[in-house]
Chain A
Amino acid sequence: MSLLVVDRLNKRFGGVWAARAVSFSLEAGELLAVIGPNGAGKSTTFGMVGGQVEPDSGAVVLAGEAITGLPSREIWRKGVGRTFQVAQTFVSMTVAENVQMALVSRRGGTRNLVADTRALHREEALALLDGVGMRADADRPVSELAYGDVKRVELAVALAAAPKLLLMDEPTAGMASKERAGLMELTARVARARRIGVLFTEHDMDAVFAHADRILVLVRGEIIAAGTPEEIRRDARVKRAYLGETGTKAALRARREAVAP
Chain B
Amino acid sequence: MAVRHPSRRALIGGLAAAPIALAGRGASGQGAGRGPIRIGELNSYSRMAAFAVPYRNAMQMAVDEINKAGGVAGLGGRPLEIVFRDDGSTPGDAVRVAEELLTRENVSFLAGTFLSNVGLAVSDFANQRKVLFLATEPLTDALTMGSGNRYTFRVRPNTFMQTGMLVDAVKAKGVKRWAIVAPNYEYGQSAAANFKRLMAVTVPGFEVATEQYPALGRVDAGATVGALARARPDGIFNVLFGADLTTFVREGNTRGLFERRLVTSLLTGEPEYLIPLGEETPEGWITTGYPWDKIEDPGHKAFVEAYRAAFNDTPRLGSFLGYVVAYLIRDVLEKAKSTDTEATIAALEDLRFNTIAGPAVMRGIDNQATLGAWVGETALSGRQGTMRNFRYVDGAQYLHPEAEVRAARKD
Question: Are A and B close enough to touch in the complex, i.e. CB under 8 Å?
Answer: no
Q: Which residues of B contact A (CB under 8 A)?
A: none
